[in-house]
Every structure is written in structure tokens, then in C-alpha cells.
Structure 1
Amino acid sequence: MKHLLQEAWLTRGVLACLLWPLSQLYGLVVHLRRALYRRRLLHSARFPVPVVVVGNVVAGGAGKTPLVIALVQHLQAQRIAVGVVSRGYGRTSTECIEVTSAAPPAQTGDEPALIQRTTGVPVFVASRRGEALRALLAAHPSTAVVVCDDGLQHYALQRDIEIAAFDDRGTGNGWMLPAGPLREPWPGRRQSGLDLVLHTGQKPAFEGFTSSRKLADDARSPTGNLVPLADLRARPLTALAGIANPQAFFAMLKDRGLMLEATIVLPDHHTFSEIDLTGLQGKTVLCTEKDAVKLFALPAAAGLDLLAVPLVFSPEPAFFIAFDALLAPLLSPLPSKHGHQTA
């Protein structure tokens, strides 16, 4: 066993050395691209409303979609008209469309569909986020704030507030892609326009605001019926997840005292079909809300005991205080000292 571990570490070390030159080249390209936008040699669109960009500095999911939902609900509580734009990663269409309950999630993307169904605010998707934002304002001119789901590196869209989400991976090995997980240099990116850092995991790797995440007390069926998780503790369960970190979902279920006799791991943004539900008849199957957006739309789901378990995500109060302090001058009729960030 020790010999196998040594071989594994050696293989990883050799691979990292081979990828290091590509990582350096990637870093230079990122720096050059950012400089071109900063000097206005590449066009960056500005809009007449405050734009809040929520994204990742590391590749892979880090909890930005729950953060977008939390921000939208925070703004709704203050009666601020808010909309959301996104590329709709993984969708089958490329045109600019509004996300509605009638639009198939495959055309809009699972995360935009989840945001719209959870909050009810206008959500638009397009290959270019600026196009989505333009369409949103045209259809909903009373919108006062726009939240961009992802797009931290999309400098063609000017932004007023930048927020980065990090999970327990932190910045990984600290290297740029492909040798590491970083999309941009860190901590350099923090010192060049990034306004807020929120940790979505349990063990923050560096300074920033924290948050809590737990499963809701009730699971939801395709018909909207609520089933207390406590009532599921005596049942053998199957858990299914097509998200960035399926094991985290499974662990949270177990922490609630649920017995998982089987777990099914699928790729993030997985396109579900009837085949994925084969063999699940007669079983109680738990999934995430993100997966439920697509799973519940399948005809075969109606004949299954399929339940979605919502995630309750809560940034610490100090995060919202800091966010409100940044947003207030942007909503004021007086000139803002913050101004628009190009890149």
C-alpha cells in the first residue's frame, strides 16, 4: 500500500511539472486580456443599473448559485427590483431567452431555472451576458439591480460589485489552470477590483466572510407535497446527485440521520433522461433541488417516489451589511465614488 501511495504522489508530481509551463502561459494570457480591457482596447459594455457579479476564482462549483439566490432574496426583502443574467451553462440552445416556468431547463440551463423558480425574479440567459442584460432591461425596465450569475472573468460586461465564492478547497495548490484550479492569480485578483469574498464551506482557507449551509427540514415531491426528513429515517434510501460535489450532499443527508443504501454520482449539469431512472421503481430517491429542476420534468418521474431536498444557505449578517454599504451609493441619485469597474 505504501508503495502504491508513493507511486501516486510521484505521478502527480511529474504531471504537475509537465503542466507548469502551460499554467504559466495561461497566467500571461489572463494578465494580457485583463490589461486590454483596462486600457479600453477591448470593448466593455456599461449599463444604467448597478451590476453585481457573483463568480469563482477557482474552476468548478464553489456555491455561487446559492449565493446568487441569497442575494436576490436579500434585495427582494428591501423591495428592490432585481433581475438575474447568466450564460446558462450546459444548455442546449444558444439564443437569448427569458427563463420561465414554461421554458424547458435544457434550453435555459439548470442553475438559471433554479434561480427563477426559487425567487420568481426575471432571469435572462444568453451566450453573451451583456445581451442577456440588455434584453432583461428592455422587458423589465423597472429593474434597479442586476445580479450576474458567474462571469467574474467576463470583462466585456462592466460591473459595480464583484463577489467571489470559495468552498473548502480554497485556492487548491495555488497554481493557475491547468496545473491548478485558479482561473486568475491569487491573491492578486483580490487586490484588483474584488469587493467581497464569501466562504461557502466549513473550513475557510483564508480571510473572508463565512456562511452556513444545511438541508431543509422537509423534502419536496414533484407535486409539491412536503415530506419531513425525520419521517424518512426508517426507510432505505437512494441518493442521486449531478452537481459539482455530490459527496457533500450525501454527507449532509447522513448527518440528518438518513440511511443511504445506494448513492448515484453523475456529472455536474448532467442532462437527465429516462435511462437515468431505470431500476429506481419502488425506491425512495432523494436528489438536490438543482437536479430536480430537470428530473421532475421527466414523464417517468411521476411514477417514482422521488424527493428533492432543498439547501438552506445563509451568509453571515456581516456579509450583507458590507454588501449594502457598497450598493447604497450606487442606488443613490448622487454621484457614486465607487463607479463602474471595467476589469
Structure 2
Amino acid sequence: MSFAKRTLAERWLQGAYQGSRWLSPLKPLGALYQWAMARREREYSSGKKATWKAPVPVIVVGNITLGGTGKSPLVAWLAGWLVAQGWSPGIVSRGYGGKAPSYPLLVTADTHVVESGDEPLMLAQQTGLPVAADPNRVRGVQALIEKGCDIILSDDGLQHLALDRDIELVVVDGARGLGNGRCLPAGPLRESPSRLQRVDAVIINGDSPPSLSITPSIMQSATTMQLAPLCWRRLDDGARFPLAPLPFTLPVHAVAGIGHPERFFRTLSALGVEGEWHPLADHQHFSADALSFADTRPVIMTAKDAVKCYALSPPNSWVLDVEATLPPEFEYWLAARLSALS
């Protein structure tokens, strides 16, 4: 089985981040999209469109670009940190890729991924906290509050303006930045780069090269987050193993259906893993045939992909679990912000 072909959308996204010239004719459409998003934000901020204010604090974790930036690992980190501070957090997510019989769907570690989508199920398994999947974030938050949650984390909720928020955190991929700095469809941006000036904190995931396309003032105040490898997990029984020595033989097949597969593959290389890399579309749908290779090499995947592959993967399948790490200064800042809300 070969994964050499990626979807047209994925190839377009790669071109948008790399500033491909063939996107230049789309600049007028990008400007129109940017104007429409700015108008929408003004309608909510002015009260023309209604927002719902939760009776508990709401922290939104989002981005202004298409593709993965590391939002879910940050949500998992925030969840653990909040529990350590004495809070009872709940997580709300749109549940992209899932289709539940009804909403809100309260996701547990045993929920079927077809109903929840990959990210809500992954977060439920990683945190053990209440997770609600619902395209209507307000309805999902209300269900979490009824479960006793006293603070809400909204995963990928920056553009869901119907839900009022107390703190906005935006994650930017350190390697890809804002791409060519243009809005859809001329570039990878969901909103204008100026949106970063109105959020509470910008968090750079990984090292940031000079081409990050973010103003120096925002870069100076941004927080750097790293995704650190945690352990190897055998998929069929959940057994965990240290990063070294490698608990499987080389070479391997590594698959990644995430927003930025190359980051995962670079991490594997840094850990001494060798083999064939198979980049897939974000939220890739898996099948047993898709994971059936001509040889019997071990198959390595991300935690986000693993929740879709428990019943599909060959026996010698492994997951690389990672965790977000943030500096103490961010913890102090967040504690102060939450204290000011009470």
C-alpha cells in the first residue's frame, strides 16, 4: 500500500504555506474573505449578533491558520495544569470527523471514534476529564456545566464567536508560521494576521525561523511551547515503554494523518527511528487495507491517529505519545489571569 498521493486540499495547503506563486491570482478572493471575517467579528463585538456568556470561565484555544498547530496537546496540558490548581475543567470540541446520534455527545475513553471524531476521543483518553463534542459549542458547554465543571477549555474555538470567552490563546506552528500571510483561498489564514493583536496570548509551537511572518512586537511577547516525546505505547495492549532503547525493530512504516506530518517524522528521526514516512491528510480515514503493507515492519503512528486504528492495525503497531511543555512564566501569567476573573 502506498500513501504517496495526498489530497488536492493538502497539496494546496502546502503551497499556501510555502508561498507558491500560482496562488497569486486568488489574492482578491483572499481580501474579500478577510473583509467578511472582520465584519463578522464586528457584528459579534457590537452585539448585533448574540453571544452566550457562561457562568464559569472559558478558555479558548485556537489558531488563525488551517492545518494542525498543536492546539490539542496544549488543551491536554492546560487540563492537567488546571486540575493541579484545584479546578474541575471540562473540554468542548466541535468533534470534526464524527457523527453522533444526538448532541451534545459526552465523550468517554470508550466512545466510538465514528461518533466523537478523533480529537475529542484522544483528549478524553489522555485527560480522563469530561469532554463534550458538539458543533454548537454553547450547547456543549452547558452540558459540561451540568456535569459539575467549573472552567471550560474550548478546543479549536477561536472562530466560534457565539460562545463568549474570558481568555483567548492562539497557537502558531513555529516551522510554518502564517505562510504567505494571506487569507483563504489565497493563503492558509482563517483571519487577518492582525487578529493576533487582540488575543490574550500567542503560543509558538516549536522553534520559530525568521520567516514566521509575525510582527516583532507579537513575537517578543509570545510564549514558546515544545512537544516533547513521552513514551512508546504498544497499540494492541496499551503497554508503555521508555523512549530508549527502541522497543521495536528497524526499519518501520510511520503514518501521520495530522495537520503537519513532517513535524512527527522529524521527531521520529531525532529518536533514531528509520524507515518509510507516509504523510496523510489531516483527520485521515483509516481502513485495514490502508495499514496493510507488503512487509511486516512495525507501524508507528500518532496518538490522534491511534484512536481510529485500534481494530485495524497490524499486531506490531506503536504509538509515540507526546506532551506539551511550557515555561513557568506562562503558568504565572495564566494563574494571575484566572485570579483576576474571580
Q: Tell me the TM-score normalised to structure 2 length.
A: 0.86
C-alpha deviation, 1:326, in angstroms: 0.9
Aligned to 2:114: 106
In 2, Cα distance between equivalents of 1:12 and 1:279: 33
Q: Which amino acid aligns with 1:321?
A: Y
In 1, Cα distance between equivalents of 2:236 and 2:250: 19
Aligned to 1:323: 334
In 2, Cα distance between equivalents of 1:126 and 1:96: 5
Give 3-state SS (helix, strand or coil) of 1:230's partner: coil
Residues 1:24 and 2:35 are matched in the alignment: no
Kindly tell me: are residues 253 and 191 of structure 1, through their superposed partners in 2, closer, same or farther at Cα, counting changes over 3 Å? closer
Which blocks of at least 5 consecutive residues in structure 1 are unaligned? 1-7, 333-343
Q: Tell me the TM-score normalised to structure 1 length.
A: 0.86
Larger radius of gyration: 1
In 2, Cα distance between equivalents of 1:234 and 1:124: 39
Which blocks of at least 5 consecutive residues in structure 2 are unaligned? 1-14, 213-218
Counterpart among 309, 313, 319 of residue 295 in structure 1: 309
Deviates more, 1:154-163 or 1:223-232: 223-232
Q: Which amino acid aligns with 2:114?
A: A
Give 3-state SS (helix, strand or coil) of 1:219's partner: strand
Cα RMSD after superposing both structures: 1.9
C-alpha deviation, 1:280, in angstroms: 6.2
Q: Aligned residues, how many?
A: 313
Aligned to 2:296: 282
C-alpha deviation, 1:27, in angstroms: 1.2
In 2, Cα distance between equivalents of 1:191 and 1:254: 36
Aligned to 1:311: 322
Deviates more, 1:91-100 or 1:245-254: 91-100
Aligned to 2:96: 89
1:178-222 alpha-carbon deviations (Å, 9 max, x no partner): 112221112x21333x10111112126333001222222433332
Aligned to 1:339: none
In 2, Cα distance between equivalents of 1:85 and 1:125: 6
In 1, Cα distance between equivalents of 2:234 and 2:80: 20
Q: Which amino acid aligns with 2:178?
A: T
C-alpha deviation, 1:131, in angstroms: 0.9
Give 3-state SS (helix, strand or coil) of 2:244's partner: helix
What aligned pairs does 1:175-254 form with structure 2 within 5 A after superposition?
175-186=182-193, 188-192=194-198, 194-203=199-208, 205=212, 206-207=219-220, 208-232=222-246, 235-254=250-269
Question: Identity, % of aligned pairs?
Answer: 36
In 1, Cα distance between equivalents of 2:250 and 2:293: 18
Residues 1:38 and 2:45 are matched in the alignment: yes
1:204-262 alpha-carbon deviations (Å, 9 max, x no partner): 633300122222243333212123343337522111111111121111111111222x2
Aligned to 1:167: 173
Q: Which amino acid aligns with 1:320?
A: E
Give 3-state SS (helix, strand or coil) of 1:216's partner: strand
C-alpha deviation, 1:102, in angstroms: 2.2
What aligned pairs does 1:146-161 form with structure 2 within 5 A after superposition?
146-161=152-167
In 2, Cα distance between equivalents of 1:241 and 1:280: 18
